[in-house]
Amino acid sequence: MKNVQKYQPFPPINLPDRQWPSRTLTKAPLWCSVDLRDGNQALEIPMNLEQKLKFFSHLVDLGFKTIEIGFPAASDTEFEFTRHLIDNKLIPQDVTIQVLTQSRQHIIERTFEALRGVGKAVVHLYNSTSTLQREVVFRMDQAQCKELAVFGARLVRDIAEQDTYGSEFTFEYSPESFTGTELDFAVEICDAVCDVWQPTPEHRAIINLPATVEMSTPNIYADQVEYFCRNTRYRDRIWVSLHTHNDRGTAVAATELALLAGADRVEGTLFGNGERTGNSDILTLGMNLFSQGIDPELDFSNINEIIDIYEESTRMAVPQRHPYAGKLVYTAFSGSHQDAINKGLAVMKKGKEHWAVPYLPIDPLDVGRSYDPIIRINSQSGKGGVAYILEQHFGYQLPKPVQQAFSTIVTRVSDQRQSDLTPGDLHDLFLDTYVNRKQPLDLVSYREEMLDDKTVQMSAQILVNGLEMAISGSGNGLLDAFCHALQAHLKGQFEITDYHEHALERGTGSQAITYVIIQNGGNKTYVGAGISSSVSRSSLRAILSAVNQIPGIVS
């Protein structure tokens, strides 16, 4: 690829005794949704007041206890939304709102105006600390950058101390672009802020370490976070928070590794909405924990509702392959996948304690999905998937030879249509192929009589190309007698090589389905099926359906 020389690798972190690779996640982090700030500012059309209120209410219902609602000093809309929540007492007592402010005096003062009378709030202070931002954007050295952060920290502290409404404030500081900041300086500036705020184990500050632009592989971010946790003087008095972006497509992985590295808290958005390629996806993070038997402490059990509200509010669509939420993530088209899923679900029905179904990391029912779309049939599907659909929707238990024969037909039809087949399509195709084959032969009526313990005499009225004919024969059972009777009037010979039957429904009024496979003199096999409330009649119909497929069988 051209111009690769323009880029250079991100330097590794010197942390030879890193501990995070040997750790495992055992509990959910503290969560903070930033959908109404980071997510909203990234929309082509930002949410209006009504949409933001609905989204806020939904985030509360999902279980978020901290919700960043905006940047009140950035616009009148953001300011008024903050006031609307406070003035109308729309913030539950166990929920803390979070607001963002730059380290500038008039912005901090305006932020506290917006928070007047709030019950609980996180005031999130930030300034950019990265080498690139300092040199190119702000033209500051480290000392000036640190002075700006400390100035903002003092002002936030002083204004909060003057509050007369009994509000409970928590302070948060972000060295914006932490991943592009010298690590020793990141520790130094965050500790300087904490020197001002003087957090305690009982009333901690939040130090947020943003991957404002994702610049490296996730393991390097984890090294950076572990370095910070091991070197800050305030580790037991702060919540270390993560805020990853997805420029390299690994925000979720970076967050998970950084939690292993010692972080306590995660900021992110539903479905990863955010600037450029987005933020870390809290839904994926939470469901990843759930799949490991860890309670995410967020309720994603009605994923369809979450999708509906998200898409309505943001005017964005959840991708079909989005983890856990995508329309197709619990759907298999591949034949081998379908067969494995079918067998796995059968084992689960026997009462297995832990979920273990191939290709399905979680039970779709746990997020409000159903089993109906798990297997969809197209030209890539196999006999297992076809059998699963017909059993789940229509009660058919296809024998393996029938599965094999029918799946070949399904593949051909799907190829011709250039589309997948719905359960209804599949059922119609099965009936047309094996059950409703009534030409040239069709059954009108029959009678049977036991001549002795082993011999049955039967007579039947059949239609041959629309003309009624009487036939009769004897054999060691009804089917054997019927075959003898037929062959006396047909041009070829055949024999039954496989036979299966079962009830389609329970109860006295249930129907039976019979599957037969016959073989003619040329060793070619034909499949037939018959359905009736009488097992005998369904069997005779199945034989006729199979015989009807033999070329030239009738003169």
Model pLDDT for residues 167-194, shown as the tens digit of each residue:
999 999 999 999 999 999 999 999 999 9
- Domain assignment of residue 144, yes or no: yes
Q: Looking at the 3D structure of the chain, how many domains does it have?
A: 3
Same domain, 108 and 209: yes
- Domain assignment of residue 1, yes or no: no
Asked if 268 and 241 count as a contact pair (C-beta separation under 8 A), the reply is no
Question: Which residue's entry shows tokens 């999708």?
Answer: 307
Give pLDDT tens digits for 43-89. Answer: 999 999 999 999 999 999 999 999 999 999 999 999 999 999 999 99
Q: Give the domain range for residue 448.
A: 441-547
Asked if 124 and 174 count as a contact pair (C-beta separation under 8 A), the reply is yes
Same domain, 243 and 309: yes
Residues 95 and 168: their CA atoms lie apart, in Å, by: 12
Give pLDDT tens digits for 20-50. Answer: 999 999 999 999 999 999 999 999 999 999 9
SS3 content of the chain, % helix, strand, coil (to 5): 40, 20, 35
Residue 349: which residues within 8 A CB-CB, separation 6 or more?
none
Note the pLDDT of residue 96. Answer: 98
Whether the pLDDT of residue 529 is over 60: the answer is yes
Note the pLDDT of residue 509. Answer: 64
Asked if 280 and 272 count as a contact pair (C-beta separation under 8 A), the reply is yes
Residues 240 and 221: their CA atoms lie apart, in Å, by: 14
The most confident of the ranges 282-291, 322-331, 343-352, 398-407 is 282-291
Whether the pLDDT of residue 384 is over 80: the answer is no
- Domain assignment of residue 436, yes or no: no
Note the pLDDT of residue 389. Answer: 85
Same domain, 386 and 355: yes
- Domain assignment of residue 427, yes or no: no
Q: What is the CA radius of gyration of the chain?
A: 35
Boundary of a domain, candidates 256, 282, 314: 314
Give pLDDT tens digits for 266-325. Answer: 999 999 999 999 999 999 999 999 999 999 999 999 999 999 999 999 999 999 999 999
List of E strands, 257-363 = 265-268
Question: Which residue's entry shows tokens 């209120």?
Answer: 53
Same domain, 161 and 259: yes
Asked if 147 and 195 count as a contact pair (C-beta separation under 8 A), the reply is no
- Average pLDDT of the chain is 92
The CATH number of whichever domain residue 106 belongs to comes to 3.20.20.70
The CATH number of whichever domain residue 491 belongs to comes to 3.30.160.270
Same domain, 146 and 25: yes
CA distances in angstroms from 352 to 287, 346, 349, listed in the order given: 21, 10, 7
- Domain assignment of residue 428, yes or no: no
Note the pLDDT of residue 376. Answer: 63
List of E strands, 43-107 = 66-70, 96-102
Task: Please give the share of the chain, as a percent, with pLDDT higher than 70.
Answer: 97
